[in-house]
Chains A and B, each alone.
Chain A
Amino acid sequence: MSDIDEELRSELQRQGIWVTSMQELYNWGRKNSIWPLQFGLACCAIEMIATAASRYDIARFGGEIFRPSPRQADLMIVAGTVTKKMAPQIVRLYNQMPDPKYVISMGACAISGGPFKQGYNVLKGIDRYIPVDVYIPGCPPRPEALLHAFMELQRKIDEQKLTGAGKAAHLDRTHPSEFPVPAFGAHDLEPAANADVFRPMKIERT
């Protein structure tokens, strides 16, 4: 894992010798074989299906293998409105995915509730319960937007470190792999948000 001098590396590359580190090799393999979990919640799922089909072809980025079981999936694409009825199931599915795991919050509904935010049964964003890596705005986002989010996730994976203080979450012993599943309370899901995960944006007015 020693750092290679950039000039030496490019010099070697010109001579036909490719030098890499374990971290780069590991991340290169991971980022080009992200298997999403096959589930859709609402209209965003149609765009997700279009992204997986031949015209937009997510296979170009190594993400075409949608797995019907969380045991084999790396990525959860929360595509659509999350109702409060569905939220515990989503958190449970996320818990059942093996590490490393990533979440793309697709569309306005998955981010904040979107146009149904005022609805009594709509969760105001899946990031209340599980950590989200990439958010895609849009209603629904076009397949290109999902591909962009996918590339952003690849970039994020590429920058993850194997060792050291800022190493990736799945390599960190202290970082949890499971998050508490909310339960149906008398009026709302309990708890309404997981305080360890939910970091609402603070608006600062000057």
Chain B
Amino acid sequence: MSPPPYLFIVIFLGVALVFPIFPLILAWMWRRFFQPPKPGAEKNATYECGVESLGEAQIQFRSQYYLYAIIFLIFDVEAVFLVPFAVAFTGLPIGAFVAILVFLLLLLEGLVWAWSKGCLDWAR
């Protein structure tokens, strides 16, 4: 006589309900009978590493910051790719050479564009 196949799911469901609810009830009873709640302005304030939080958390960033992303790509990411390219230069097939050249050309275009926008001027 085997038990009904869905009995286990019912048991799991029961355990899944009791397991979290029992400690919550216990904690509620503990608060009710022993430990008085002590809320306060400081205690309920937003945690910001001990500093008083200023303003809203949901703010918008200016889209002008994409220039930094482009310049970061040109001067940082490109260098990361250039070093292994230079090291493996003599053993490269022509296809890989052309691929990296296309990559360089794309970034060079970005550099020319950023330069013409005046992003590289010191006075900005």
User: Which chain A residues have a beta carbon within 8 Å of chain B's beta carbons?
Assistant: 69-71, 88-90, 92-93, 95-96, 98-99, 162, 170-173, 176-178, 181
How far apart sit A95 and B41, CA to CA, in the bound complex (Å)? 9
**Per a CB cutoff under 8 Å, which of A88, A90, A95, A162 touches B43?**
A95
List B contacts of A171 (CB < 8 A): 34-36
Cβ-defined contact, B40 with A69, below 8 A: no
Q: Assuming A99-B38, A171-B35, A171-B36, is B50 touching A89 (CB within 8 A)?
A: yes
List B contacts of A96 (CB < 8 A): 42-43, 45, 47, 50
Cβ-defined contact, A89 with B51, below 8 A: yes
Chain B residue with the shortest CB-CB distance to A86: B50
The contact string, 1 if C-beta is below 8 Å from chain A, for chain B 18-46, is 00000000000000001110101111010
User: Which chain B residues have a beta carbon within 8 Å of chain A's beta carbons?
Assistant: 34-36, 38, 40-43, 45, 47, 49-52
Cβ-defined contact, B38 with A177, below 8 A: yes
Distance between A22 CB and nearest chain B CB, rounded to angstroms: 9
**Per a CB cutoff under 8 Å, which of A71, A162, A170, A177 touches B47?**
A71
List B contacts of A89 (CB < 8 A): 49-51
List A contacts of B45 (CB < 8 A): 96
Cβ-defined contact, B51 with A177, below 8 A: no
List A contacts of B50 (CB < 8 A): 88-90, 92-93, 96
Chain B residue with the shortest CB-CB distance to A178: B40
Of listed B36, B45, B51, residue having the most chain A CB within 10 A: B36
List B contacts of A162 (CB < 8 A): 34
How far apart sit A54 and B47, CA to CA, in the bound complex (Å)? 30
Distance between B113 CB and nearest chain A CB, rounded to angstroms: 42
List B contacts of A71 (CB < 8 A): 47
Q: Can you list 13 A-B pairs with a CB-CB distance of less than 8 A? A: A70-B47, A92-B51, A95-B43, A96-B42, A96-B43, A96-B47, A170-B38, A171-B34, A171-B36, A177-B38, A177-B43, A178-B40, A178-B41
Cβ-defined contact, B36 with A178, below 8 A: no
List A contacts of B36 (CB < 8 A): 171-173
List B contacts of A69 (CB < 8 A): 47
Distance between A86 CB and nearest chain B CB, rounded to angstroms: 8
Chain B residue with the shortest CB-CB distance to A69: B47
